[in-house]
Copies of this chain bind each other. A is one copy, B any other.
Amino acid sequence: MFVNTMPRYEILSEDAMAVLDKGWRRIVTEIGIEFLLDEAVEQFRAAGQEVRDGNRVILDPEFVLEHVAKAPREFDLQARNPQRSIHVGGSNMAFASVYGCPFVREGDERREATMNDFENLVRLSQAFPELDSPGGTICEPNDRPLDSRHLDMVYALQSLSDKPYMGSVTSGPNAEDTIRMGEILFGGREAIEATPASISLINVNSPLRYDDRMLSALVAYAKANQALVITPFLLMGAMSPVSIPSTLAQQMAEALAGIALTQLIRPGCPVVFGSFLSNTDMQSGSPSFGTPESAIGLFCTGQIARSFGLPWRSGGGLNSSQTVDAQAAYESLMTMLPTFLAGANFVMHSAGWLEAGLVSCYEKFIVDIEILRMLRHEFTAIDFDEESLAFGAHEEVGPGGHFLGAAHTLERFRECFYRPLLSSTENFERWKRNGGLDATARASGLWRKTIDEYEQPPLDDAIRAELEEYVVRRRAELGD
């Protein structure tokens, strides 16, 4: 997997960090965080924290930090193919596909996503080595019943890919199904408790509230030692104030409170400090992605998460564009380049995100893979040593010469530079002759070719049968 060997870009001074530290402490002590699940509230109460109005927990910041400190700084996440297991934290960066989209875009067609789309997008995620995980709800399979579609999704993730996957968080029982299916795939409870076999996204119902469904899933996963990403969901102007410092303080309050809860439930449970921070377009009232504010949030969040010793999640190829155009591309890179600069450890929405996250797009998936490939190349440090100076090449070529035929070039021309997947450097005449296709049209050819060439990773027949049996049984129990 990718290790980011370049320096981190940090913009917060010590004074700024002190201001933010004061900010989150004030929020948790004077306002508190609402936990809309009795079991969660009782955990805090039993640990000596004050509870107001039934579910609002007033937190002692030192208590929060003491529990946050129990979370591992880094952890492994296992894949059923051990070569695809990943390490979350440190200088490592793991990339997962887009998550949570009700719609799909394929060329000029935008439609409700289906199970077929879900499976295709998992296949694409499996095919590209730039992705460490297909993620979870890569799109909503709207043609499957709501109550049992999580079973179809988890099974597709487990069988069509051999990379780590994300679990269902729509309810506690759905999380339990994910855990059970992980036990089947990985050989029992002990195996997945020793090293987590899933990582799941717990969104905060920001501001300052965790809802019962997400909390039930959190509790289930934490008890099974499955990894969690605790993510305040912050569109400034809607879920947080129209101020970056204020929003960062809120993000710290919300994330740290949730992380403390995971450690109350199971000390040492692997957990990731999550960030999903952008802003509302105050003219349209719509969420806005790939914004300057979002990039600033990324730089700051990396620094903040590291100050708590926590692995962190943010970034992705976020944008608001309706189609795979210049806007989709510059907004996506306006988030993804800061993601690398800030060194995010777990990156959701790395491929396929379009239209403010409403759409999983096949062509955008390919554009994002190209961006990931470029950035992985860019953030791999190079050696500056005597040999790299290649003085012999200068001697050979001399003033006014040309390096294409130099011995130094001929020895290295295959590997010396980044080689694009999607981008074209063809001259205009040749490009025209080859059809004059823009990047989006070329991306369409590339994803189709990738699906055609996809090979399903092998899976033991007995395990497959057991998984299928589980899905069939549970679907029936759920009435679908």
User: How does the 8 Å CB contact mask read for A291-333 relative to B, with 1 for contact and 0 for none?
Assistant: 1110110000000000000000000000011111111111111
Inter-chain contacts of A249 with B (CB < 8 A)? 389
Find residues 347-394 in chain A having any chain B CB closer than 8 Å to their own CB: 355-356, 358, 367, 370-371, 374-375, 377-378, 381-386, 388-391, 393-394
| A287 contacts B by Cβ under 8 Å | yes
| A113 contacts B by Cβ under 8 Å | no
Partner of A243, one of B19, B242, B246, B388: B388
Alpha-carbon gap, A147 to B426, bound state (A)? 32
Inter-chain contacts of A356 with B (CB < 8 A)? 425
Inter-chain contacts of A244 with B (CB < 8 A)? 382, 388
Q: Is the CB of B11 within 8 A of A10?
A: no
Q: Is the CB of A205 within 8 A of B400?
A: yes
Partner of A324, one of B250, B326, B331, B397: B326
Inter-chain contacts of A408 with B (CB < 8 A)? 241-243
| A31 contacts B by Cβ under 8 Å | yes
Q: Is the CB of A403 within 8 A of B370?
A: no
Find residues 411-436 in chain A having any chain B CB closer than 8 Å to their own CB: 412-414, 416-420, 422-428, 431, 436
Q: Is the CB of A7 within 8 A of B7?
A: no
Q: Is the CB of A31 within 8 A of B399?
A: yes
Inter-chain contacts of A401 with B (CB < 8 A)? 207
Alpha-carbon gap, A438 to B284, bound state (A)? 18
Q: Is the CB of B322 within 8 A of A431?
A: yes
Min distance, Cβ A93 to any Cβ of chain B, angstroms: 15
Partner of A341, one of B284, B326, B341, B422: B341
Q: Is the CB of B400 within 8 A of A34?
A: yes
Q: Is the CB of B334 within 8 A of A374?
A: yes
Q: Is the CB of A7 within 8 A of B10?
A: yes
Nearest B residue to A247 by beta-carbon distance? B390
Q: Is the CB of A382 within 8 A of B282?
A: no
Binds B, one of A22-30, A76-84, A179-187, A266-274: A22-30
Alpha-carbon gap, A30 to B389, bound state (A)? 14
Q: Is the CB of B394 within 8 A of A207?
A: yes
Q: How many copies does the complex hold?
A: 2
Inter-chain contacts of A280 with B (CB < 8 A)? 404, 417
Binds B, one of A63-71, A121-129, A232-240, A462-470: A232-240
Inter-chain contacts of A341 with B (CB < 8 A)? 9, 341
Inter-chain contacts of A381 with B (CB < 8 A)? 11
Q: Is the CB of A321 within 8 A of B424?
A: yes
Q: Is the CB of A33 within 8 A of B243?
A: no
Min distance, Cβ A55 to any Cβ of chain B, angstroms: 9
| A190 contacts B by Cβ under 8 Å | no
Inter-chain contacts of A26 with B (CB < 8 A)? 389, 391
Given contacts A333-B334, A401-B207, contact A424 B292 (CB under 8 A): no
Partner of A322, one of B20, B246, B428: B428
| A262 contacts B by Cβ under 8 Å | no
Alpha-carbon gap, A448 to B25, bound state (A)? 52
Find residues 205-251 in chain A having any chain B CB closer than 8 Å to their own CB: 205, 207-209, 236-246, 249-250
Alpha-carbon gap, A77 to B148, bound state (A)? 68
Inter-chain contacts of A109 with B (CB < 8 A)? none
Given contacts A246-B388, A320-B423, A320-B424, contact A400 B209 (CB under 8 A): yes
Given contacts A19-B389, A424-B320, contact A9 B7 (CB under 8 A): yes
Inter-chain contacts of A31 with B (CB < 8 A)? 394-395, 398-399
| A6 contacts B by Cβ under 8 Å | yes
Alpha-carbon gap, A377 to B244, bound state (A)? 13
User: How does the 8 Å CB contact mask read for A252-294 relative to B, with 1 for contact and 0 for none?
Assistant: 0000000000000000000000000001111111111011110
Partner of A424, one of B322, B395, B398: B322
Min distance, Cβ A464 to any Cβ of chain B, angstroms: 39
Given contacts A282-B417, A384-B16, contact A239 B321 (CB under 8 A): no
| A156 contacts B by Cβ under 8 Å | no
| A194 contacts B by Cβ under 8 Å | no
| A472 contacts B by Cβ under 8 Å | no
Q: Is the CB of B384 within 8 A of A15?
A: yes
Inter-chain contacts of A327 with B (CB < 8 A)? 329, 422-424, 438-439
Nearest B residue to A291 by beta-carbon distance? B418
Partner of A413, one of B22, B30, B237: B237
7 residue pairs bridging A and B, Cβ less than 8 Å apart: A19-B385, A238-B402, A244-B382, A245-B384, A284-B426, A290-B423, A321-B424
A246-B389, A281-B425, A285-B404 given; 9 more Cβ-contact pairs under 8 Å: A9-B341, A209-B400, A242-B413, A243-B389, A250-B394, A291-B418, A330-B367, A330-B371, A355-B428
